[in-house]
Amino acid sequence: MKIDTPARPRPRGRPREFDELKALDQAMLVFWRLGYEGASVADLTGAMGITAPSLYAAFGSKEGLYRRVLERYQTGPGAYTWTALTEEPTARGAIERVLRESARVFTRRKHPHGCMISTAVLRCAEAHQPVADLVASLRTSAVELFRERIARGIEAGELPPGTDASAMARYHGAILQGMSVQAQDGASEAELLGLVDVAMRAWGGGAGRPRAR
Amino acid sequence: MKIDTPARPRPRGRPREFDELKALDQAMLVFWRLGYEGASVADLTGAMGITAPSLYAAFGSKEGLYRRVLERYQTGPGAYTWTALTEEPTARGAIERVLRESARVFTRRKHPHGCMISTAVLRCAEAHQPVADLVASLRTSAVELFRERIARGIEAGELPPGTDASAMARYHGAILQGMSVQAQDGASEAELLGLVDVAMRAWGGGAGRPRAR
DNA sequence: CGATTTCAATAGTGAGCGTTATGAAAATCG
DNA sequence: CGATTTTCATAACGCTCACTATTGAAATCG
């Protein structure tokens, strides 16, 4: 038997001519580079290779498209954060890995520098406040992930029982957000890694992992 | 003798009906809250209490007004940074004071939270790139101020001779920028101060100044 | 096949953007 | 006083914004 897409019979009418995921990836690059307010629908449709009516039929609105892009960012370019936090055996190792991988990812040339969420929609017109609130909640969620990982590290005895997990989480969140700002301002991977070296001193006990300097 | 404005004879035509500095302060609050792109000329003229032609006669353009506002921010609400860096006797004390004062200033209720420059115009439409470049240069200048202060601290023997002043400066710049993001996202002064406590551990040697916890 | 359904392209919609032309009002100068 | 200069207020400028009505093309269904 020949089944090209299992449980997915060809839909009724004229088939869509563009790949929704590829279009989302192109839209992501535009939003990433220009920001939510700075990206016009014309910019988006141009990069996505579709017309405005197609965009609105598929995503509802510019805001709807942005929300879809944010979801895709989290499971795509931004997924390394969640991966590092769950894979590494210690809290310190997990967070250090997030920071060091961020130094590399934030300065890649295949996409705009910096994190798409850390430095997105900070100030905006009142009409776009719902979008700003959403992005802000994504940032606070990331800090909360840090806090949970550190709290588990405390329970595991990696850190002194009196450690302030919230303060530690906000601290590393700030480092990440600051790295994103500086990556956008032109900092290199090496410069960001040097910053991380300093940042990890807050964990005490000398250098985190021995690195050639 | 009676001289109201010394060396400033009443100018020729109809006198201006608004105070330029007060208008700048009102414009500052609008740009601070909504960002450069998010603030419309209508928002600005409304807050400044003047009409659009008056704005253009006095400041040239929206961009010109923004540049004037940035200058005024640096000598006004943002001046504490320069003050702390020059007044404090040690590099560590100077930078710690910048961070602690920032925690307070970033959460004041008399103006929008966060720093007006640290988190301004990060992404924007290509038409506004000159503005983005200007603000980015202000950020890198701030980091450079940190670097110079730390370098002087090294020369003074406060820090080991091998200390990487650039990395230390970028680190504290990132802390400041991250604090600005979190202040905008709703962090309290106490939360930011807890963050600073952690950040200052990078200087080694236990707690910076003994604080009640 | 004809009927139906969905998509794509053209061509626009009203609203808001930053900006400015116009003319009256308010000051100084001679 | 009249002439000049500058500012103020009204009203609009052209343009771009996000968004959509319309129409025809391309697929499946019966």
Residue A203 φ/ψ region, left for φ over 0, alpha for ψ in the -120 to 50 degree band, beta for the rest: alpha
Q: Quick one: which of A103, A60, A124 has its CA closest to A189?
A: A103
pLDDT in the model for residue B206: 54
| pLDDT greater than 80 at residue A156 | yes
SS3 B157: coil
Can you list the domains of chain B with their CATH numbers?
20-73 (1.10.10.60), 77-203 (1.10.357.10)
DSSP B8-74: -PPPSSSPPSS-HHHHHHHHHHHHHHHHHHH--HHHHHHHHTS-HHHHHHHHSSHHHHHHHHHHHHH
Closest CA relative to residue B152, chosen from B95, B83, B209, B98: B95
Least CB–CB distance from A171: residue in B33, B181, B199: B199
Residue B211 pLDDT exceeds 70: no
Q: Does A120 sit within 8 Å of B197, measured CB to CB?
A: no
List the structure tokens of B31: 């740009």
In sequence order, the 6+-apart residues with CB closer than 8 A to the CB of B136 are: A184, A185, A186, B121
Q: Could you give the CA distance from residue A62 to residue A36 in angstroms, rounded to a whole number? A: 9
Question: What is the band of A38 on the pLDDT scale with cuts at 50, 70, 90?
Answer: very high
Question: What's the pLDDT score for residue B97?
Answer: 98
Residue B84, C-beta contacts closer than 8 angstroms, at least 6 positions apart: B94, B97, B98, B101
Query: Quick one: pLDDT at residue B5?
Result: 38
Q: Do B119 and A198 touch (CB under 8 A)?
A: no
Q: What is the DSSP letter of B163?
A: -
Helix H or strand E segment including B207: none
Using the predicted structure, report yes or no on whether residue A8 has a pLDDT greater than 90: no
A81 vs B15, residue with greater confidence: A81
* Rounded Cα–Cα distance for residues A100 and A114 (Å): 13
Nearest to A170, CA basis, from A205, A195, A202: A202
B123–A164 CB contact, under 8 Å: no
What confidence tier does B15 reach under pLDDT thresholds 50, 70, 90? confident
Confidence (pLDDT) at B9: 67
**Rg of the Cα atoms in chain B:** 20
Q: Percentage of chain B surpassing pLDDT 90?
A: 87
User: What is the least distance, in Å, from the CA of A119 to any CA of chain B?
Assistant: 7
CB contact under 8 A, A166 and B191: yes
Residue B68: pLDDT above 60?
A: yes
Of residues A5 and A167, more confidently modeled: A167
Using the predicted structure, report yes or no on whether residue B1 has a pLDDT greater than 90.
no
Query: Given the structure tokens 């020949």, which residue do they identify?
Result: A2
CB < 8 Å to B37, chain A: 35, 37-38, 124-125
Q: What is the pLDDT of residues A126-142, one digit of tens each?
A: 999 999 999 999 999 99
pLDDT at A74: 97
Residue A104 CA to residue B153 CA, distance in Å, equals 31
Interval A43-52 mean pLDDT: 96
Average pLDDT over residues A171-189: 98
Q: What DSSP assignment string belongs to chain A?
A: ---SSTT-PPPSSSPPSS-HHHHHHHHHHHHHHHHHHH--HHHHHHHHTS-HHHHHHHHSSHHHHHHHHHHHHHHTTTHHHHHHHHHSSSHHHHHHHHHHHHHHHTT-SSS-SS-TTTTSSSS--GGGHHHHHHHHHHHHHHHHHHHHHHHHHHHTTSS-TT--HHHHHHHHHHHHHHHHHHHHTT--HHHHHHHHHHHGGGG-SS-SS----
Give yes or no for A4 touching B (CB within 8 A).
Answer: no
Residues of B whose CB is below 8 A from A177: 174, 177-178, 181-182
Euclidean distance between CA atoms B178 and A178, whole angstroms: 5
Q: How near does any CA of chain B get to the CA of A194, in Å?
A: 5
Average pLDDT, chain B: 92
